Amino acid sequence: MKPPPLRIHRPTTLEDTLDLLSEHSAAGKVLAGGQSLVPVLNMRLAAPSDLIDITAVSGLDELLVTGDDGQTEIIVGARATHRRVERSAEIAAANPLLGEALRFVAHPAVRNRGTTVGSIAHADPNGEMPMILALTGGRVDVRSTRGERSLEADELNVGPLETCLEADELITRAVFPGLPAGARAGFDELARRSGDYGLAGVGMIVDVDDDTVTGLRCGFISVTDVPEILNLDALVSGTGLNDAPEAADAVVDAVRNFIDPGGDIHASADYRRHLTGVLASRLFRRLCRGENPRKRAGGTRRPATDTKRGRA
Amino acid sequence: MTESLDTEPTSTIRLTVNGTLHVLEVPDRKLLSDVLRQDLELTGTHVGCEHGVCGACTVQLDGEPVRSCLMFAGSAQGHEVTTVEGIGDDPEHPADVQQAFIDCHGLQCGFCTPGFITTIDAYIDENPHPSEEEAREAVSGNLCRCTGYQNIVSAVQRAAELRAEGASQ
Ligand SMILES: Cc1cc2nc3c(=O)[nH]c(=O)nc-3n(C[C@H](O)[C@H](O)[C@H](O)COP(=O)(O)OP(=O)(O)OC[C@H]3O[C@@H](n4cnc5c(N)ncnc54)[C@H](O)[C@@H]3O)c2cc1C
Ligand code: FES
Ligand code: FES
């Protein structure tokens, strides 16, 4: 048996869950889909004495879109798997960013168990969903026996793999705002193999009024410590949609200055910086053209080679 | 390590595997993959990386592929587990996906094969006519060290053909 000895509790009500979390506090841990926690336990990088399995807790499986056109919110309960979120047509209509990014999260067999909220709680800077929460301006609702609070993404994320959650706190749901009218959004990344964490990834929301760009926000994976959002409203405002190729160069410069990649055996910091710029340029131009994402190419997800522009 | 058996927390679990209900006393920390192999002697489920990466341990939970190495056996209670034995356990009458692997030479040593079978069996229900590219994507979460994948990709498409034929009969 690979994991260290531990006791697993399977509460069915939120009240019991919060009591258990309060009782076991620092020695206990929430078990959601287990797709990040169980590998950690199998490698014995952590040894909690008690796991509180939330997969049978009633009330945590909500998945819905609320509000009116232009002012919608996507509510993702703590038990909702990546796969359910990805498959929801209603969510795709309210904000395509979630589904677009989720297709890059691991493989279907992992997404069938892993939860979007668990991913946000895990706060991996290589993970897609913590960044998507920040980019969309979302929040999480948190409960404990001591009360409840709501946290914006930038309050929640304090460092790589680190949130401001106390040991007895449970995220009950994540709330992602829908895409505002006129805005276009997309996500792209490059990984060494299908399903791996990306070497770099970029998410973007472009505001468009008629034929003119009026705003741009970018979020990144694997090249910043926490999901910080780069606001380039001033840089791109007033750019005509047809002039996107020229404006893209300035976007690339701003992006490369903003990020802070590290190097490892898979890719050097310089390569990641370069790659992030390439992804940002392609994504910005694609969104300005109003095209849908290319279908994920079989296995490799390699973006089509760009021959037109030498730069990016 | 001080893992004395007296202090090891255990639980009685009710596990439905391949349509049969088993009541077992197992340590809480025991993974589904280990319970399948050691307690139920269903050794078709293979264990490679135990990190969720290789796919060899893939089983179906309520018909959806999941990694049995990343699940505690207790967490599978209340769900239907299907292993490769539940898909086909008779060499004389292989299931459609197994037949497709035979037809296309989709295996050599066979270590990875059960994970492919459980994955593809669920996939072709969702996508009954996969293109070559889709077939390749469908198996991208499973590693094989022997075949070079081409024949496995062919087997995905062949399995879809066989299932369609089976359905129309
Ligand atoms: C092979 C493989 C590849 C992967 N690739 C990617 C990838 O490319 N991108 C990516 O983003 N992820 C990837 N993942 C991770 C996957 O997305 C996980 O599902 C996710 O990170 C965690 O969700 P979970 O439900 O499995 O959480 P768990 O593993 O159960 O929990 C993770 C952590 O969050 C805590 N937690 C969970 N839920 C809550 C809650 N409601 N409140 C408070 N704390 C909570 C747990 O205590 C634990 O510390 C991969 C995983 C594997 C095995
Ligand atoms: S053994 Fe489970 S994925 Fe490798
Ligand atoms: S056939 Fe040997 S690992 Fe795939």
**What single string gives the DSSP state of each residue in B5-29?**
TTT--EEEEEEEETTEEEEEEEETT
Cross-chain Cβ contact B140/A6 below 8 Å: no
Question: How buried is A150 (Cβ within 10 angstroms: 0-12 exposed, 13-18 middle, 19+ buried)?
Answer: exposed
Question: In chain B, what's the furthest Cα-to-Cα distance?
Answer: 59
The answer to ipTM > 0.90 is: yes
Contact criterion met (CB below 8 Å) for A153 and A133: yes
CB-based pocket (< 6 A), ligand 3:
B 107-112, 144-147
Cross-chain Cβ contact B52/A39 below 8 Å: yes
Q: If you measure from the C-alpha of residue A153 to the centroid of ligand 1, how many angstroms do you get, rounded to a whole number? A: 17
CA distance A278 to chain B (A): 24
Per DSSP bridges, beta strands A28-31 and A139-144 are: unpaired
Q: If you measure from the C-alpha of residue A37 to the centroid of ligand 1, how many angstroms do you get, rounded to a whole number? A: 7
Handedness of CA A12, A13, A15, A21 (dihedral sign): positive
Q: Mind listing the pLDDT tens digit for each residue in B92-108?
A: 999 999 999 999 999 99
CB-based pocket (< 6 A), ligand 2:
B 47-50, 52-57, 67, 69
Q: If you measure from the C-alpha of residue A303 to the centroid of ligand 1, how many angstroms do you get, rounded to a whole number? A: 27
> What are B68's two structure tokens?
């049995």
Which residues of A are less than 8 Å from B75 in CB distance? 8, 10, 31, 34, 53, 55
Ligand nearest to the backbone CA of B111: 3
Query: For each of chain A's 312 residues, which pLDDT tens digit applies?
Result: 799 999 999 999 999 999 999 999 999 999 999 999 999 999 999 999 999 999 999 999 999 999 987 789 999 999 999 999 999 999 999 999 999 999 999 999 999 999 999 999 999 999 999 999 999 999 999 999 999 999 999 999 999 999 999 999 999 999 999 999 899 999 999 999 988 999 999 999 999 999 999 999 999 999 999 999 999 999 999 999 999 999 999 999 999 999 999 999 999 999 999 999 999 999 999 999 998 776 554 333 333 433 333 344
Q: If you measure from the C-alpha of residue B131 to the centroid of ligand 2, how many angstroms do you get, rounded to a whole number? A: 27
Contact criterion met (CB below 8 Å) for A200 and A221: yes
The reply to whether A38 touches chain B by the CB within 8 Å rule is yes
Question: Which residue among B46, B57, B58, B112 is best mutated to probe the pocket of ligand 3, counting the most ligand atoms within 8 A of its Cβ?
Answer: B112
The reply to whether B29 touches chain A by the CB within 8 Å rule is yes
CA geometry: angle A30, A99, B59, nearest 5 deg? 55
Contact criterion met (CB below 8 Å) for B81 and B24: no
Distance CA B35, CA B42 (A): 9
**How many other CB atoms are there within 10 angstroms of residue B19's CB atom?**
9
Rounded to a whole number of angstroms, the CA Rg of chain B reads 17
Question: Does ligand 1 have an atom closer than 6 angstroms to the CB of A17?
Answer: no
